[in-house]
């Protein structure tokens, strides 16, 4: 028994001796302020895609500032925001992009200053009002960069989350733009048509405008075979806003479906303006294409600059919306 006690005491003394032999370690001071910082929470997901509808009323993007740290702030923290377009060039260089700044007149920040209240963690949601239709509206169907930065704060700022980069796009929804009624429209001009070779119910230009997907217009091939460009000119009867066009190719596997397409518009059928161009798919499915900008016009000209696998062209239906 005595031997066991002696062994136990010896072990304790040995342990204490080992502990006493260890060198002293001193942890550096870590001020709490280093871990208490203000930041923009949206910047966690940079760049942030903001796709907006086309509407007569402003469309909104949300921004804010948050506080992060061990505790809640003991006093109010005032935060100042600004649009920091000076960062766009470095952003483009770093990301291989070529964004332009969102046009100045197309948006407005609800707050350039805001407060994170004592005992709170956020300014709450703030709004950027963006015009997507009407005077000073941003261009549609294009991406723009809008960098919003914290420029001043009553606390340290997390530099990695100081700026949120919004990639802003005004994207129309096709369901909002049904095709116009063609019963009051007429085809007043065309490059050529096949008047005989396709039978009495095909070939003529009017068959691209007859609401029948199984009939079609075909450029002339009997007696002559003019090459591109091929065109149809439509008088809508009155000035309308042209948002885009619809193409339905001939419902067959034949070569000659439209490929490179140009849309021109006019108010008087004399002076014409290019309104947009696109590459149509080699498909028999319905294709709807928005113009790069909505435009008012009375006359619309469909110009087919090339076709798939042929110099001739055919088309089942042409629509305007």
Domain definitions of the chain by residue range: 35-171, 182-320
Judge whether 76 and 90 are in contact, CB under 8 Å: no
d(C-alpha 155, C-alpha 151), whole Å: 12
Domain 182-320 has CATH 2.60.120.260: yes
Residue 212, C-beta contacts closer than 8 angstroms, at least 6 positions apart: 316, 317
Kindly report the length of the chain.
Answer: 321
Residue 61's pLDDT is 98
HSE (side-chain half, CA atoms, 13 Å) at 47: 21
Cα separation, 196 vs 211, in Å, equals 21
Sequence-separated (6 or more) residues with CB below 8 Å from residue 164: 40, 42, 43, 46, 48, 63, 147, 148
Convert the pLDDT of each residue in 53-105 to its tens digit. 999 999 999 999 999 998 999 999 999 999 999 999 999 999 999 999 999 99
CB 36 within 8 A of CB 153: no
Give mean pLDDT in consecutive 10-residue pieces for the chain, a chain of 321 residues.
50 50 54 80 98 96 96 96 98 98 98 98 98 95 97 97 98 96 97 95 96 97 96 98 98 96 98 98 98 96 98 98 98
* CATH classification number, 35-171, choose in 3.40.50.300, 3.40.605.10, 3.40.640.10, 2.60.40.1740: 2.60.40.1740
């Amino acid at each position: 028994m005595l031997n066991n006690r002696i062994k136990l005491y010896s072990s304790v003394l040995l342990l204490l001796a080992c502990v006493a032999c260890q060198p002293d370690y001193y942890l550096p001071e870590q001020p709490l302020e280093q871990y208490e910082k203000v930041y923009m929470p949206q910047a966690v997901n940079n760049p942030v895609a903001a796709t907006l509808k086309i509407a007569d009323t402003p469309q909104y993007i949300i921004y804010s500032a948050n506080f992060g740290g061990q505790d809640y702030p003991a006093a109010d923290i005032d935060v100042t925001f600004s649009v920091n377009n000076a960062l766009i060039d470095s952003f483009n260089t770093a990301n291989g992009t070529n964004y332009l700044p969102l046009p100045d007149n197309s948006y407005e920040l609800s707050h350039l200053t805001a407060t994170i209240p004592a005992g709170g963690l956020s300014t709450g949601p703030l709004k950027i009002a963006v015009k997507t239709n009407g005077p000073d509206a941003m261009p549609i169907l294009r991406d723009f960069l809008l960098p919003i930065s914290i420029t001043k704060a009553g606390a340290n700022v997390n530099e990695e989350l100081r700026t949120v980069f919004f990639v802003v796009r005004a994207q129309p929804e096709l369901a909002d733009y049904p095709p116009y009624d063609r019963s009051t429209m007429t085809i007043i001009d065309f490059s050529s048509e096949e008047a005989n070779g396709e039978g009495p119910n095909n070939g003529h230009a009017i068959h691209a405008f007859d609401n029948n997907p199984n009939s079609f217009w075909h450029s002339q091939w009997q007696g002559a075979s003019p090459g591109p460009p091929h065109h149809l000119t439509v008088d809508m009867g009155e000035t309308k806003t042209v948002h885009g066009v619809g193409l339905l190719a001939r419902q067959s596997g034949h070569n000659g479906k439209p490929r490179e397409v140009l849309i021109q518009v006019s108010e008087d059928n004399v002076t014409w303006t290019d309104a947009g161009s696109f590459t149509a798919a080699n498909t028999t499915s319905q294709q709807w294409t928005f113009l790069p900008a909505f435009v008012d016009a009375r006359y619309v000209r469909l110009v087919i600059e090339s076709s798939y696998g042929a110099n001739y062209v055919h088309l089942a239906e042409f629509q305007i919306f």
